[in-house]
Amino acid sequence: MAGSAAVLEDVSTLSRLDRGLHRIERILALVSGLAVFSLMLLAVVSVSGRNLFNAPLPGYVDWIEQAMPLIAFMGIAFTQRDGGHIRMDILVGRLKGRALWAAEFLTTLVALALMVLLVWGTWSHFDRSFDFAAPLWSRDSSIDIGIPIWPAKLLAPVAFSVLCLRLTIQLVGYGRAFVKGLVEPVAVPLVLSAAAQAAEEALHVSGDADREKGAQ
């Protein structure tokens, strides 16, 4: 399930690390959004050029290929922080207390192990493409206009590394909650109830949320 979630904060070292990493995640998510906007502009330019001047944008497909990793990978850690990724919550949603934190710890550990393997694999894929001795430092390029592909390949291990850091912080948060028997641990997404989600959405719509943040 992908539901609305809250991430609590305090003055602990774990919470400071969480907030520091979240600033980086917001920047990456912004870059991803700008990539989507840029593709929209490229589509307008290409279609307009084809219809008005019979001259579509050269290398349009090549630029789409370059932008796809930005769109697909840059926002995954940001989404993970807020608990927005799709997951099966039928069983976990019924758990409480230490049983819940143990289940979350186990699933986060499995996800972290998978992402470490993906970092290793995607870095190897980038390394096969990058070469300081080659023109434009690239052993391969796009088919149409010859754009070097290694920058796009580098985005995957970078984004996955940030996700590994996020999963590590959450792993510590779940482990800390399990050991101490915490009800509302920091630095991990806490799924809100339907009533809490409705109240939060009402605050955002009315603008009270911004006023509350300003008051704090």
* pLDDT digit string, tens, across residues 138-170: 998 988 888 999 999 999 999 999 999 999 999
So what's the pLDDT on residue 194?
A: 58
**Tokens 């289940």, located at residue:** 103
Give me Rg for the CA atoms of the chain: 21
- Measured distance CA(135)–CA(150) in Å, rounded: 12
So what's the pLDDT on residue 174?
A: 96
Q: What pLDDT band is residue 197 in, cutting at 50, 70 and 90?
A: low
So what's the pLDDT on residue 207?
A: 63
Are residues 71 and 35 in contact, defined by beta-carbon separation less than 8 angstroms?
yes
- Measured distance CA(42)–CA(56) in Å, rounded: 10
- What angle, rounded to 10 degrees, do the helices at 60-73 and 150-180 form? 10
Average pLDDT score, the chain: 87
So what's the pLDDT on residue 56?
A: 84
- pTM for this structure? 0.85
Are residues 185 and 173 in contact, defined by beta-carbon separation less than 8 angstroms?
yes
So what's the pLDDT on residue 144?
A: 86
- If you average pLDDT over each of 38-52, 159-173, 202-216, which comes out highest? 159-173
- Measured distance CA(32)–CA(34) in Å, rounded: 5
In terms of Cα–Cα distance, which of 87, 74, 113, 76 is closest to 3? 87
So what's the pLDDT on residue 95?
A: 84
104 burial class (0-12, 13-18, 19+ CB within 10 angstroms)?
Answer: buried
**Tokens 């080659």, located at residue:** 134
| Spans of all domains in the chain | 5-215
- Measured distance CA(9)–CA(21) in Å, rounded: 13
